Amino acid sequence: MNWRRGLFRLWIVGTVLFLLAVAFVSYSEIKAQFDAVASKPKAIIHSSILAQFRQRYPQYNDLSDAQLADALYKKFYTDIPREQFDRKIAGPNTKIIEFQGRMHEFPADATDDDIAAALATEPVTFDDLIPAPNPWNTLGIWAIIALGIPLAVLALGASLVWAFSGFAAKRS
């Protein structure tokens, strides 16, 4: 009888069952976080650049400004950060300010005092105080749990088998 092979097969079966259990337990939390991020409203951009693009390519008139901006960003501008792209297409007639995790659009001639006053009057909601969950972090934590524990069990089991094999009787 080969104990090492039997224990390794037992470890494989246990690992598969453990991975299925972790996936079952974590699926709803991870899915909810990804859905929350996907349904988060994007910044609304009214741009003369988008208007010029629509004038040149009327087949894109059925898309909203946000959809067109997303499509242009994904197709041509993925090498720059999204915030920089949003500022670029907003044009010279607007200022885009990020405040409390949201993008706010102001006329280019607005003074800093005007912007500060407008931002100060914006109501603060409870959701503004709680940071948005990062679904990729949550997925990474669950992946570490799902893979780390079986690997630790494998290492512990292998070391115990190695240690106990030293006590085996000598074969003749």
3 state DSSP class of 62: coil
In a domain, 118, yes or no: no
Q: How does residue 131 score in pLDDT terms, banded at 50, 70 and 90? A: low
In a domain, 149, yes or no: yes
In a domain, 123, yes or no: no
In a domain, 70, yes or no: no
Q: Which of these, 2, 45, 19, lies nearest to 165 by C-alpha position? A: 2
What are 45-96's pLDDT values in tens digits? 445 667 777 788 888 888 877 788 788 888 877 888 877 777 677 666 666 6
Looking at residue 150, its pLDDT comes to: 95
Domain total for the chain?
A: 1
In a domain, 147, yes or no: yes
Give the domain range for residue 151: 1-40+132-163
Q: Say what the pTM is.
A: 0.49
- The values of phi and psi at residue 41, to 5°, are -65, 140
Looking at residue 16, its pLDDT comes to: 95
In a domain, 77, yes or no: no
Q: Does 11 or 91 have the greater pLDDT score? A: 11
In a domain, 53, yes or no: no
Query: Residue 97 pairs with which residues in a beta bridge?
Result: 104
